[in-house]
């Protein structure tokens, strides 16, 4: 639960009310109410090489009310702003889906719904985040608790002391909002953070108490890590100066997960500032590993058309231009195969814990 705020009207709430003001002012002047929304696409992101993060560009799109193509979206945006300000006033947090349900109704005198499905309302929340320069957490919208953490880490959550070393193999479920005012890190004695793509491998490592032996924090986001997981890794990295290693499947999607952790995502480029970990390292699975660790060819999976085209896109991204990465991706393309982390079980159930990771760490065999 969110805690009580000191001031009556928050900054965010003021920003949201600004949407209404915009409409009112335009109407006064007989102008078409227009929202200027920064564009969230590859064309409007820049890779800041010096800082190592993806930054949002300056291009904006105008969303006007009196345009047949945009009218509905404009109306929906105002409705979402209204719902978000309601959250602020009541000091509640909610999910994307609840926002969708809250704003859905049939318009008066018609049989048209304000929203037909959640795909219509989700991007509008992101639009408002960028437009108002308010973080999703500040808007009180949370995602699912889709991540877990285990390791020598002590947190303070809503006044409860959580020792992540004493939570068995299930660990602590990382909430979607881990800002200091919600979660405080009391202590962290780990030497590094290992962020694992898949829950199954995280379970393996947790069960084998890998974190105890190598003194690390084990994190997973079950696929593309949600904000909470990314933010927690970033905080540990920043506040305790420990390195972050990323362990993903050897496929284009794994590469992209790594790049999102490291440089930030294209869609949420405006949040790279607080999310990205430019010094994060890619520990595996590398396209060189099948050779190096003797994984047989028959545990590979043929790249499908989608994989190939995605890989070809990645090769062109400015943040994948380092030689090591170009080699990595091209090696995968030329082999025509991808490998899952799970494939390591072909050698031994505990191959990941006993052999693979120890050797990687010892040889410092990672990509930057």
**Which of 24/92 has CB closer to another protein?**
24
Cα separation of 120 and 230, whole Å?
Answer: 25
Which residues of 209-353 form beta strands (DSSP E)? 216-220, 244-247, 281-284, 301-302, 337-338
Give the nearest distance from C-beta 238 to another protein in angstroms. 36
Cis peptide before 285 (omega within 30 of 0): yes
State the nearest-atom distance from the C-beta of 203 to another protein, in Å: 34
Measured between its terminal Cα atoms, the distance across the chain in Å is 38
Spatial CA neighbour of 281 closest among 206, 218, 194, 208 = 194
- Residue with smaller CB distance to another protein, 63 or 237: 63
Nearer to another protein, 6 or 110 (CB): 110
Catalytic site residue from 100, 101, 182, 356: 101
Query: From CA 344, how far away is CA 350, in angstroms rounded?
Result: 8
Nearer to another protein, 36 or 71 (CB): 71
User: Which residues bind to another protein, rule: CB under 8 A?
Assistant: 16-17, 19-20, 23-24, 27-28, 30-32, 65-66, 68, 71-72, 74-75, 78-79, 81-82, 85-86, 106-114, 116-117
Tokens at 330, concatenated: 């091209």
In order, the DSSP letters of 66-88 are: SSTTTHHHHHHHHHHHHHHHHHH
**Distance of closest approach, residue 94 Cβ to another protein, in angstroms:** 17
Q: Which is nearer to another protein, 28 or 363 (CB)?
A: 28
Cα separation values, 234 from 187, 203, 281, Å: 15, 22, 13
Residue 67 C-beta: closest distance to another protein, Å: 8
- Nearest distance from residue 39's CB to another protein, in Å? 23
- Determine whether 339 is an active site residue: no
Which residues participate in catalysis according to the annotation?
101
């Amino acid at each position: 639960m969110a805690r009580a705020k000191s001031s009556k009207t928050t900054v965010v709430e003021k920003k949201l009310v600004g949407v209404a003001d915009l409409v009112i002012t335009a109407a006064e002047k007989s102008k078409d109410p227009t929202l200027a929304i920064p564009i969230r696409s590859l064309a409007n992101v820049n890779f800041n090489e010096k800082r190592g993060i993806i930054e949002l560009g300056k291009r904006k799109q105008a969303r006007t009310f009196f345009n047949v193509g945009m009218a509905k979206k404009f109306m929906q945006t105002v409705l979402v702003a209204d719902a978000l300000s309601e959250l602020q006033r009541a000091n509640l947090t909610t999910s994307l889906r609840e926002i969708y349900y809250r704003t859905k109704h049939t318009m008066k005198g018609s049989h048209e719904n304000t929203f037909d499905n959640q795909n219509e309302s989700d991007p509008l929340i992101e639009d408002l985040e960028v437009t108002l320069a308010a973080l999703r957490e500040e808007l009180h919208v949370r995602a699912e608790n889709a991540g877990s953490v285990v390791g020598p880490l002590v947190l303070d959550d809503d006044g409860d002391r959580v020792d992540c070393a004493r939570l068995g193999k299930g660990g602590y479920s990382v909430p979607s909002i881990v800002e200091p005012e919600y979660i405080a890190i009391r202590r962290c004695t780990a030497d590094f953070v290992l962020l694992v793509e898949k829950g199954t491998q995280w379970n393996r490592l947790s069960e084998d108490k890998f974190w105890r032996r190598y003194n690390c924090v084990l994190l997973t986001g079950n696929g593309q890590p949600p904000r909470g997981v990314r933010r927690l890794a970033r905080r540990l990295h920043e506040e305790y100066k420990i390195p972050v290693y990323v362990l993903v499947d050897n496929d284009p999607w794994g590469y992209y997960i790594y790049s999102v952790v490291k440089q930030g995502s294209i869609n949420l480029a405006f949040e790279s500032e607080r999310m990205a970990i430019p010094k994060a390292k890619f520990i595996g699975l590398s396209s060189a590993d099948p050779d190096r660790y003797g994984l047989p060819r028959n545990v590979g999976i043929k790249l499908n058309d989608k994989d190939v085209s995605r890989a070809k896109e990645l090769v062109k991204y400015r943040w994948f231009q380092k030689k090591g990465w170009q080699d990595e991706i091209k090696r995968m393309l030329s082999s025509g195969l991808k490998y899952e982390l799970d494939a390591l079980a072909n050698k031994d159930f505990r191959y990941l814990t006993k052999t693979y990771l120890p050797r990687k760490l010892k040889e410092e065999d990672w990509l930057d």
